[in-house]
Amino acid sequence: MNRITRRTAAGALLAGGGLLGLGLIGGYLLRDVMRTLMPANQGGMMSGGMMGSATSSDMSLYQDLFNRHNEITSIRWVGRGPCPAHHQE
């Protein structure tokens, strides 16, 4: 059975650390490249989609409603047609 020498273990540890460092540097470089290719007003989390066009007052109202969600005790259907919760096919 071959034993691992201290020199081999140290070399493996240094190689692993080097690969981890290269991965981190590559991630940061990729992030910076994506930032330069994509203007600030496009892309990203708040660029449309589900909540992207929400104003600060919309978000404030949403947060107030969410903070009061435990006060809701019943739901009354006010739409047209049958209530989706009670609709049977």
* pLDDT tens-digit map of 16-39: 999 999 999 999 999 888 888 876
Q: What value does the mean pLDDT of the chain take? A: 79
Reference 75, options 67, 85, 62; nearest CA is 85
pTM equals: 0.38
Q: What are the domain boundaries of the chain? A: 7-39
Measured distance CA(4)–CA(74) in Å, rounded: 68
Structure tokens at 49: 């989609």
